[in-house]
Amino acid sequence: MDHLLNVTTGLSILLLIIVLVSVRRAHIRVEYSVSWLIATSAMLALSRARPVLDAVRRLIGLPDTPLTLFLLAGGVLLIMFFRFSVIISHLRDDNIALAQRVAILEYHLRSFKNHEKQEA
Amino acid sequence: MTPAANPDSLLVIVPAFNEQDAIAGVVQSVHQHVPGVPVLVIDDCSADDTILAARQAGAEVLALPYHLGLGGCVQAGYKLAYELGFEYVIRVDGDGQHDPRDIPRIFEKLKSSGCEMVIGSRFVVENGSRTGAVRSLGIRFFRLVLRPILGKPVHDPTSGFVGVNRKALGVFSRTFPLEYPEIEALVVLQRRRFRFEEVPCAMHPRTTGRSSITALKSLYYIFHVLMGVFVNVLKFDRRALRAPRRRPPGSGAGG
């Protein structure tokens, strides 16, 4: 079991590094990296704090400590997916409104040019 | 294309996606049956010459920069019509299935009834219009679902041949379903206590192109529209609660 917790520690550190490097290279915006940083830090802390993990396991009533860790990680991931779905939905709405506005402005511009041509 | 200072200004909008073979016929037919009424083709980023064909046929074109889907396409037309100050807008599909001869009847109904939306319906009276078995089943299903929500029967909830007045135009230019909008749009109107009427219309079989709703998409369509309907029903609208319920004309004395 300790070996499994060591693996999750390694994975958490790897993910933490990937997120930090991505932020540094501007592949991911800072505001969207916060959720990942919090999740990976929490996973790292839980992997190294066995008593805390055991306390959580007893609280939830699960038979296995690693299962508790994976359940928590899964829960956090679900919340993050939901958060990103909300963000994507907003972006899609904004994008559609923007495309419609571009089309309408182009329409006005074309009308204006045609009007000028007719007057000239 | 500017509406005269006319309380009855009408715009015909035609959403189109890859309809280069049909669009010119639709535009010319609209001009023939409602002369003097501007036609706006909203091109949903077609890969063919839809824009050119529409312009050559005498239509104005609103060209979207990328493919938005039917709802986003129609809403762009509603937004422009609202900005330009039109009082009435009638939507005709770009595939030639709707008969522009029915436009004057929809327009008259919009003006005389004072209701916010008029639907050109294939099933108000038997007019020989035929639909596929799956689609027919879907229409029957949504009639049943919508009956208690709308408070009155709707014969052809999937019809895209609709006319709206400026009040509905204002709402649709802000809120309009993006995919498969016809059924959800009815619920959006109902949430604002708006009214709709149906007038009998003919529908021609599609002669060019393909329907966007394939057999496989039908299940997704039903699920998606059901979700959209119930989400709209659950939306809490303070304005609707504050507004007094409007009595439809001829629904009894008093009030």
**What per-residue confidence (pLDDT) applies to B45?**
95
- Residue B232, domain member (yes or no): yes
> What are residue A29's phi and psi, to 5 degrees?
-75, 150
The Cα angle at residue B78 between residues B77 and B81, in degrees rounded to 5: 85
The nearest CA of chain B is from the CA of A87 a distance in Å of: 17
Pairing of strands B60-63, B39-43: parallel
Q: Rg (Cα) of chain A, in Å, rounded?
A: 25
Q: Count CB neighbours of B27 within 10 A.
A: 27
Q: What is the DSSP letter of B235?
A: -
Residue B32: CB partners within 8 Å, gap ≥ 6? Answer: B100
Count of structural domains, chain B: 1
- Residue B255, domain member (yes or no): no
Nearest CA in chain B to A99: B65
> What's chain B's average pLDDT?
85
Residue B130's CATH number: 3.90.550.10
- Residue B251, domain member (yes or no): no
Q: Which domain holds residue B147?
A: 10-238
pLDDT above 90 for B37: yes
DSSP string, chain A: -HHHHHHHHHHHHHHHHHHHHHHHTTSS-HHHHHHHHHHHHHHHHHHH-HHHHHHHHHHHT-S-HHHHHHHHHHHHHHHHHHHHHHHHHHHHHHHHHHHHHHHHHHHHHHHHHHHHHHH-
Cross-chain residue pair A107–B62, CB shorter than 8 Å? yes
pLDDT above 60 for B200: yes
Task: Look at residues B147, B175, B182, B162 and name the one whose alpha carbon lies nearest to residue B239.
Answer: B175
Q: What pTM was computed for the model?
A: 0.82
Taking any CB pair shorter than 8 Å as contact, residues of chain A touching chain B are 96, 99-100, 102-104, 106-107, 111
CA distance B72 to B164: 17
The ipTM of this complex is 0.82
**What per-residue confidence (pLDDT) applies to B79?**
97
Residue with tokens 């963000």: A87
pLDDT band at B100 (very low <50, low <70, confident <90, very high): very high
